[in-house]
Amino acid sequence: MGRLTWILIILNVVIFELVFSMPESLMDTAFNLLAFSSPQIFEVWRLFTSLFVHASASHLFFNMLGLYFFGRVVEEELNPRRFLLLYFIAGLAGSLVYGLTSANPVVGASGCVFGLMGYAMIMKPKKMIKLYVFPLPLGIIAIIFAIIESILVYYGEVISGVAHIAHVAGMFTGIASAFLVDTKRAAKCSLWLVLFVVILVLLGPVFGLIIGIGNLLLGAIDFVVGIVLYGLAKLIGVILW
């Protein structure tokens, strides 16, 4: 189970290693050729290549972490063709919506991952996952992400330099896809999200503590993974370039 999820993770990691193994000038050229930006919208390949390029090891780590947890859940629901269709349409929607608000280049699989999350939060809100080390219902984690990203779209897009609006666009693409696939089930499962919102309001400090501890642990893992990824890229660079 999760075969396509693992293939996508491996593909993203391999591309990251190849790009970051390049000499700096060549790596800059690769980013310029593969990233998407609205002024280059007619260079259609960028809409797809940008989804597999990541700006840093941390960017890659957190996207692949989300892909691992949400991708496996969605693969249980969709056949391979529909899974890939959702993945890429959510990513494309994220890039295009971001292009409406900024001419800056954008890279990464964030829109794709948020699309999978949006689908999963509607179809399997009660599914327990350990994204923050401690097991929590998928619906609660998704609601927290949705709230944070919505706030960042309003306040932090320019300051952070992160394409938060692409995340939100990808998420809504996933939600819309869930309703298109099975409207009755999606509507019924959405009632759980209402209950989870109430629980979050009542037990906000508890979930804040859990997420705070989880973020500390994930930060430590991210640091170690970064050392490994950059070290491997440097080794590949010695061999290839």
Question: In degrees, to the nearest 5, what angle opens at C-alpha 18 toward C-alphas 12 and 19?
Answer: 90
Distance in angstroms (rounded) separating the CA atoms of residues 238 and 217: 32
Identify the three-state secondary structure at position 103.
coil
Catalytic residue status for 177: no
Which pair of tokens denotes residue 82?
């529909």
Catalytic residue status for 59: no
Phi-psi region at 108: left, alpha or beta (left = phi > 0; alpha = psi -120 to 50): left
Contacts 24+ apart (CB under 8 A), 139-147: 139/192, 139/193, 139/196, 140/196, 140/199, 140/200, 140/207, 142/117, 142/118, 142/193, 143/193, 143/196, 143/197, 143/200, 144/200, 144/207, 144/211, 145/114, 145/117, 145/171, 146/121, 146/171
Distance in angstroms (rounded) separating the CA atoms of residues 87 and 81: 10
Q: Which of 50, 110, 164, 177 is catalytic?
A: 110
Q: Which of 21, 37, 54, 167 is catalytic?
A: 167
Distance in angstroms (rounded) separating the CA atoms of residues 51 and 132: 25
Active site residues: 110, 167
